[in-house]
Amino acid sequence: MTAISDKSTFGMSPDSAPLFVKLCYIFMSMRKPRSLPISKTTTLADVARGAGVTKSTASFAFSGKRKISDATKERIFAVAKELGYHPNPHAQRLGAGRAAKLVGLFALTLDHMAWKTMSRLHHELAEKGYEAPLYTYGYALEGPPDHKSLLYGMCSQLPEGIICNTAKLVAEDALMLEEYQRKGGALVCMHSELPLDCDQVIFDREENTYLAARYLLDAGHRDIGFCMFDAADFSQPRSRGFARALCEFGIKPNPKWLFEAGHDEEGGAMLAEKFLNLKKRPSGMCIVNDMQAATFVHKILRAGLRVPQDVSIISLDDMPAARHCVVPLTAVTQPWTEMADTAVRFLLERMQLKERSELRKVVFSGKIIERESVLQHR
């Protein structure tokens, strides 16, 4: 074959060659010889060889599982840096059995209160030197999310501990968390009591709603409405708490005053529309949650009603929306700060235990914060 030089192409100068040949000339002139072969990925064995130690010694230097002299570690790390070697975190976890200083936070879905709780958990764990990734499907999903794949993704990272904040685990999820514990992982469940042998920090939603309804009853109200996404479903804890308070005064919930009005601000606007369309209205309203309640107040004030003279309102959670509403709202707290701090304490103590100790359960229900939205008939 005729060689291609910088000065001629198949015996022709570049200027006089046909177009195809010119293109070949340009392509060939752009090619550069490869001076070095492609190097293979640097392995732990390469680092050990370069540092003059065994592979196990190099592994211990990165994992910290055994004491190695500072001089040897420095030599190993220097060789690793020179060769561009980075240990595989997942492989280290598999070797160690658990990922030290890693805690998985699981919240299947996030409403405003769950988001505050998970943020508090993350902050408290980060202050103590833990990495705490959040596994969640977000907020207000239509239909049940895929519990199994989300939990599997978290458990496969082999975290040292898990805090699970959800009320919607199915049987397969519980089995997965039981297996995680059996293999040495520490688990704390939050919010709702779950069928798992672990430390639990429970929020009693039934008692929390009972306190709200009972406050209106004690204030002299007898015609009381209730608003929640599934208010008429008395298998739900909050609806049971509402009905229990009324039952103590010989009152049955009025089906026309059980409002299923959606979430947050949109739900508050829907509630106001339904409320204003009633011929006979309740004198008191128990509303889950504060954003719903604050929007409800805004809408009925614009319609010419007064709070609390025409309707008294108690909300649930005591978030900023309740405190800063145009009529500051009497509310029942959800003690998310105390719950999060307790869950972190339980988890840290559980991770430090070498043997399984007695399981712990703490139940929170909240308290009444009195403001301006309830008229006292007493």
User: Where residue 124 sits, what CATH number does that domain have?
Assistant: 3.40.50.2300
**Residue 219 domain-assigned (yes or no):** yes
Mean pLDDT (whole number) for 38-60: 82
Same domain, yes or no: 164 and 242: no
- What pLDDT was estimated at residue 32? 45
Same domain, yes or no: 221 and 300: yes
- What pLDDT was estimated at residue 111? 83
- What pLDDT was estimated at residue 19? 53
**Residue 230 domain-assigned (yes or no):** yes
C-alpha closest to that of 164 among 194, 189, 135: 189
Q: Write out 24-76 in H/E/C secondary structure.
A: HHHHHHHCCCCCCCCCCCCCHHHHHHHHCCCHHHHHHHHHCCCCCCHHHHHHH
**Residue 342 domain-assigned (yes or no):** no
Give pTM, 2 decimals.
0.74
Most confident of 18-32, 46-60, 106-120, 235-249: 235-249
Mean pLDDT (whole number) for 19-29: 49
Mean pLDDT (whole number) for 95-112: 79
- What pLDDT was estimated at residue 329? 98
Q: Which two tokens stand for residue 36?
A: 């070095």
Same domain, yes or no: 147 and 244: no
Instruction: Give how far Cα 173 sits from Cα of 70, 118, 149, 185, Å.
Output: 45, 20, 9, 15
* 33 pLDDT tier (thresholds 50, 70, 90): very low
**Residue 50 domain-assigned (yes or no):** no
Q: Is the pLDDT assigned to residue 67 strictly greater than 80?
A: no
Same domain, yes or no: 170 and 212: no
Among 4-8, 86-90, 297-301, where is mean pLDDT lowest?
4-8
- What pLDDT was estimated at residue 28? 47
Q: Is the pLDDT assigned to residue 311 strictly greater than 60?
A: yes
Instruction: Please state the φ and ψ torsions of residue 199, each to the nearest 5 degrees.
Output: -65, 140
From 154, 172, 197, the end of a domain falls on 197
- What pLDDT was estimated at residue 356? 67
Question: What is the number of other CB atoms lying within 10 angstroms of the CB of residue 174?
Answer: 16
The residues, ordered by sequence, that sit 6+ positions from 309 with a Cβ below 8 Å of its Cβ are 375
What residues make up the domain containing 245? 205-334
* 242 pLDDT tier (thresholds 50, 70, 90): very high
Residue 373 and residue 307 in contact, taking contact as beta carbons nearer than 8 Å: yes
**Residue 14 domain-assigned (yes or no):** no
Same domain, yes or no: 103 and 158: yes
Q: Is the model more confident about 67 or about 203?
A: 203
Tell me the three state secondary structure of residue 191: strand
Using one digit for the tens of pLDDT, what is the confidence trace for 327-364?
A: 999 999 999 999 999 999 999 999 988 666 799 999 99
Instruction: Note if the bond before 159 is cis, omega within 30 degrees.
Output: no
Using one digit for the tens of pLDDT, what is the confidence trace for 187-199?
A: 999 998 888 999 9
**Residue 218 domain-assigned (yes or no):** yes
Number of structural domains found in the chain: 2
Average pLDDT, the chain: 85
* 97 pLDDT tier (thresholds 50, 70, 90): low
C-alpha closest to that of 312 among 223, 181, 185: 223
**Residue 315 domain-assigned (yes or no):** yes
Same domain, yes or no: 305 and 214: yes
Residue 289 and residue 229 in contact, taking contact as beta carbons nearer than 8 Å: no
Query: Which of 157-169 are b and which e, b meaning 16 or more Cβ less than 10 Å from the residue's Cβ?
Result: bbbbbbbbbbeeb
Same domain, yes or no: 189 and 213: no
Q: Is the pLDDT assigned to residue 131 strictly greater than 60?
A: yes
Instruction: Please state the φ and ψ torsions of residue 332, each to the nearest 5 degrees.
Output: -105, 125
Same domain, yes or no: 221 and 264: yes
From 197, 213, 244, the end of a domain falls on 197
From 180, 197, 214, the end of a domain falls on 197
Q: Is the pLDDT assigned to residue 21 strictly greater than 70?
A: no
DSSP symbol at 3: P
Contacts 24+ apart (CB under 8 A), 276-280: 276/300, 276/303, 276/305, 280/223
Q: Which two tokens stand for residue 327?
A: 């009529």
**Residue 346 domain-assigned (yes or no):** no
Residue 284 and residue 220 in contact, taking contact as beta carbons nearer than 8 Å: no
Mean pLDDT (whole number) for 294-320: 97
